[in-house]
């Protein structure tokens, strides 16, 4: 499975969206992606990509697209 | 119970969590050691050492002072086996993302440094339930997964330590690490429904209160 497939799988599972809907997803843009959903998301990403996301980056992770940039800082190319 | 026998409450200023000191016949039980410095101050003031430490669940705001407490005192820690698993993981005990949680909880205004940590498992563990003699009574533990896998309530006479269930003004959170709405509905809720009127509820956050019909309605029990 590619990194993009893993990334999308996490978003689909957590926020119950299709691949086509993912690019538009933003933090607090849907009910499930609230602060608690965000922490859950960070936990899943850390586990999947075996990284530790710093708090500043957790806060910087404001959308599906922005998240790709954040993960790149940890050597994860999406 | 509204006298010197009522448990003292220590509130952690960072997380607002409660730690309780239950004193009976010269013996002391610490419930949820949240903040070692404040706890140590309370113990020294009473000139007491903890005989037992009881855990309602594995989240970091309820075990934040446990490691230091164990280093300072020889005591017996009691918690469920599921709690034991959770407290050994910085993800499951929530300390890994606590900085973020506190930031959001403050309305994205205050940033507090919070160091991730893990704890060794309890010395004495239980599965579904357990009873342990304590002073003139019995400590009764009941495992109630829902808020976390390792959540339990602890009963001593007409006192019920409920951890993060039945919080005043707040519905139970089942979306934090280890939480499960399904487990809450299946295991925790039916048990919480059986709490009789008048029982003292000692929550993990907020002030203690007595159980009544209004509480049942508020928590949809």
pLDDT tens track for B154-201: 999 999 999 999 999 888 999 888 899 999 999 999 999 999 999 999
Enumerate the H helices of chain A as residue ranges. 3-15, 35-49, 55-60, 64-72
For the segment A61-69, the average pLDDT, to the nearest whole number, is 97
Closest CA to B87 of B109, B58, B47: B58
Q: Is residue B198 part of a domain?
A: yes
Taking CB atoms and an 8 Å limit, are B99 and A46 in contact across chains? no
Backbone angles phi, psi at B64, to 5 degrees: -60, -25
The string of DSSP codes covering B128-160 is: SEEEEEETTEEEEEEE--SSSTT-EEEEETTEE
Interface check for B175 against chain A (CB to CB < 8 A): the answer is: yes
The pLDDT value given to residue B177: 87
Confidence of residue B1 (pLDDT cuts 50, 70, 90): very low
Smallest Cβ distance to A40: which of B103, B105, B175? B175
Number of structural domains (chain B) is: 1
Q: Which helix (H) or strand (E) holds B101?
A: helix B98-105
What CATH number has the domain spanning A3-72? 1.10.1200.10
State which H helix or E strand residue B8 sits in: strand B8-11
The structure tokens listed for B117 are: 């940590």
Residues of A within 8 A of B97 (CB-CB) are: 39, 42-43, 58
* Domain containing residue B24: 8-218
For residue A22, pLDDT over 90 is answered with yes
Residue B3 has pLDDT above 80, yes or no: no
Q: How far is CA B54 from CA A53, A74, B28, B89, in A?
A: 32, 39, 11, 19
* CATH number where B75 lies: 3.60.15.10
Cβ–Cβ pairs < 8 A, chains A and B: 34
Per-residue confidence (pLDDT) for residue B41, from 0 to 100: 98
pLDDT-based confidence at B4, cuts 50/70/90? low
Contact A46 B104 (CB under 8 A): no
Is residue B160 domain-resident?
yes
Q: Select from B97, B99, B105 the Cβ nearest to the Cβ of A43.
A: B97
Yes or no: say if A72 and A57 are a contact pair by the CB < 8 Å rule. Answer: no
Domain membership of residue B1 (yes or no) is no
Evaluate whether residue B162 is within a structural domain.
Answer: yes
Residue B82 lies in a domain: yes
pLDDT at position A25 over 70? yes
* B1/B131: higher pLDDT: B131
Domain coordinates in residue numbering, chain A: 3-72
**Mean pLDDT confidence for B136-146:** 97
- pLDDT value at position A45? 95
In chain B, pLDDT over 90 holds for what percent of residues?
90
pTM: 0.91
- Domain-embedded: residue B3: no
Which band of pLDDT confidence, cut at 50, 70 and 90, is reported for residue B2?
very low
- Beta carbons within 10 angstroms of residue B42's beta carbon: 18
- The neighbour count for residue B185, using CB atoms within 10 Å, is 12
The answer for residues whose C-beta is within 8 angstroms of residue B56's C-beta and 6 or more apart is B31, B32, B62, B151, B152, B153, B154, B161, B162, B163, B164, B204
Task: Name the residue with tokens 């978003």.
Answer: A11
């Amino acid at each position: 499975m590619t990194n993009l497939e893993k990334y999308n799988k996490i978003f689909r599972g957590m926020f119950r969206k299709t691949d086509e809907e993912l690019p538009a997803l933003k933090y607090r843009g849907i009910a499930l992606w609230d602060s608690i959903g965000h922490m859950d998301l960070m936990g899943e990403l850390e586990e999947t990509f075996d990284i530790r996301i710093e708090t500043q980056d957790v806060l910087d992770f404001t959308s599906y697209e922005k998240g790709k940039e954040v993960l790149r800082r940890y050597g994860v190319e999406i | 119970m509204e006298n010197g026998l009522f448990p003292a409450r220590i509130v952690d200023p960072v997380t607002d969590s409660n730690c309780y000191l239950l004193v009976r016949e010269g013996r002391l039980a610490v419930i949820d050691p949240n903040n070692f410095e404040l706890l140590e101050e309370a113990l020294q003031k009473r000139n007491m050492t903890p005989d037992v430490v009881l855990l309602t669940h594995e989240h970091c705001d309820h075990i934040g002072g446990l490691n230091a407490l164990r280093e300072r005192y020889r005591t017996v820690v009691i918690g469920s086996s599921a709690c034991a698993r959770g407290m050994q993981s910085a993800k499951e005990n929530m300390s890994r993302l606590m900085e973020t949680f506190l930031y959001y909880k403050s309305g994205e205004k205050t940033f507090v440094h919070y160091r991730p940590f893990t704890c060794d498992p309890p010395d004495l563990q239980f599965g579904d339930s357990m009873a342990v003699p304590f002073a003139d009574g019995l400590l009764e533990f009941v495992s109630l997964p829902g808020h976390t896998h390792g959540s339990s309530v602890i009963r001593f006479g007409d006192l019920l330590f409920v951890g993060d269930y039945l919080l005043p003004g707040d519905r139970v959170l089942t979306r934090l690490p280890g939480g499960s709405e399904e487990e809450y509905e299946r295991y925790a809720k039916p048990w919480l429904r059986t709490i009789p009127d008048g029982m003292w509820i000692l929550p993990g956050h907020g002030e203690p209160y007595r159980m009544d019909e209004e509480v049942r309605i508020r928590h949809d029990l």
